[in-house]
Amino acid sequence: MMDAKSSQKAFLEQLVAHRLLIPSGVPGLFGRGRLFEEVIERFNRLLTDVAADDGAEVVQFPPLVNRKHYEKSGFLKSFPHLAGSVFSFYGDQGEYMELLSCLEKGEDWSRLQHMTEVMLTAAACYPIYPMASGTLPEGGRLFDVYSYCFRHEPSDDPARMQVFRMREFVHLGTPETSVAFRNRWLERGSDLLKALAVPISADVASDPFFGRGGKMLASNQREQRLKFELRTPITSTEEPTAVMSFNYHQDHFGSLFDIRRASGEIAHTACFGAGMERVALSLFKTHGFVPAAWPASVRTKLCL
Ligand code: AMP
Ligand code: ZN
């Protein structure tokens, strides 16, 4: 039996050999080959089909967010180790000369960089909450978002990238409609992965909150059953990888961004997120590196 490290390495080597992923020299940062992209595109279309009658509003955001909104969202407080901020050069001619000298000598030039107004988004749904500030219509709102996301978690596991895509549906409404939305997607997500013959297990989950207090937050999140994940073995059977997440945030974002229900109460929110690269990797892991040789039922479902 291969240990997790060797199995990650072997899987990555195969993905690269089949031109599915293109290494950059930095762990977790890859280019994507045509077939890898095609699988993601086809799966993305399946999600659109599943949600076709929901009437979600499609919005598209770049993978950067307003730093003020990011700070307010609580992400830095909970996950400082994953956050990515954008810095740039604000210097004069003197500092420019210093920068050139650092580059020439191969020295650290980070002191010549200062914070900008933007951060790299950590989840596709983050720009939604500040945008939805105000009063929701009767019945709440539903959004459909798709974005590259950044998390600083360099790893040799091809399923743990620093830059990856998330397709999300986000509901804003009451506690009841949020939980119902979350549960509906849990069922839809399972059905979809089962139809693609990807072995899955569903479980209560928690987010990787930082530090001593973080353990408490994570166990509260589990106890309250706020987060569920669908997992599949990609590079380990003992520790399967989460391919989809189903989150009920209670009034966290509603109160931070003053999102109110038509009744005036603070809104509750929930999101469903599919990790697109992980879905593709689970398909390559389960069915092999050549989509043309995948089972007919899977190819038909994906229209491949
Ligand atoms: P989360 O907000 O952590 O629940 O992430 C939402 C989804 O994004 C997860 O279910 C994964 O499928 C995917 N995801 C999270 N982190 C990574 C990562 N480092 N690399 C690739 N996909 C990820
Ligand atoms: Zn989300």
Residue nearest to atom 4 of ligand 1 (CA): 245
Which structure tokens are listed for 271? 């999101």
Q: For the chain, how big is the Rg over CA atoms in Å?
A: 21
Residue nearest to atom 14 of ligand 1 (CA): 275
**To test ligand 1's pocket by mutation, which of 11, 73, 146, 151 has the most ligand atoms within 8 angstroms of CB?**
151
Which of 166, 271, 280 is closest to 228 using CA atoms?
271
Ion ligand 2 — residues with CB under 5 Å? Answer: 123, 125, 168, 271, 273
Ligand with the closest atom to the CA of 28? 1
pLDDT tens digits in sequence order for the chain, 304 residues long: 678 899 999 999 999 999 999 999 999 999 999 999 999 999 999 999 999 999 999 999 999 999 999 999 999 999 999 999 999 999 999 999 999 999 999 999 999 999 999 999 999 999 999 999 999 999 999 999 999 999 999 999 999 999 999 999 999 999 999 999 999 999 999 999 999 999 999 999 999 999 999 999 999 999 999 999 999 999 999 999 999 999 999 999 999 999 999 999 999 999 999 999 999 999 999 999 999 999 999 999 999 9
Considering the domain 4-66+122-302 in this protein, what is its CATH number?
A: 3.30.930.10
> How far, in Å, CA of 226 to CA of 67, rounded?
26
Ligand with the closest atom to the CA of 125? 2
Residues with CB under 6 A from ligand 1: 123, 151, 153, 160-161, 164, 166, 229, 242-245, 273, 275, 277-278
Ligand with the closest atom to the CA of 243? 1
Ligand with the closest atom to the CA of 170? 2
Residue nearest to atom 18 of ligand 1 (CA): 160
Q: How far is the CA of 134 from the centre of ligand 2 (A)?
A: 19
**To test ligand 1's pocket by mutation, which of 8, 120, 160 has the most ligand atoms within 8 angstroms of CB?**
160
Q: How far is the CA of 85 from the centre of ligand 1 (A)?
A: 19
Neighbour-count burial of 14, counting CB atoms closer than 10 A to its CB (0-12 exposed, 13-18 middle, 19+ buried): middle
What are the C-alpha distances in Å from 217 to residues 210, 226, 240, 253, 263?
9, 11, 23, 16, 30
Tell me the pTM: 0.97
| Domain map (residue ranges) of the chain | 4-66+122-302
The string of pLDDT tens digits covering residues 102-147 is 999 999 999 999 999 999 999 999 999 999 999 999 999 999 999 9
**Half-sphere exposure of 298 toward its Cβ, with a 13 Å CA cutoff?**
19
Determine the atom of ligand 1 nearest the C-alpha atom of 151. 19
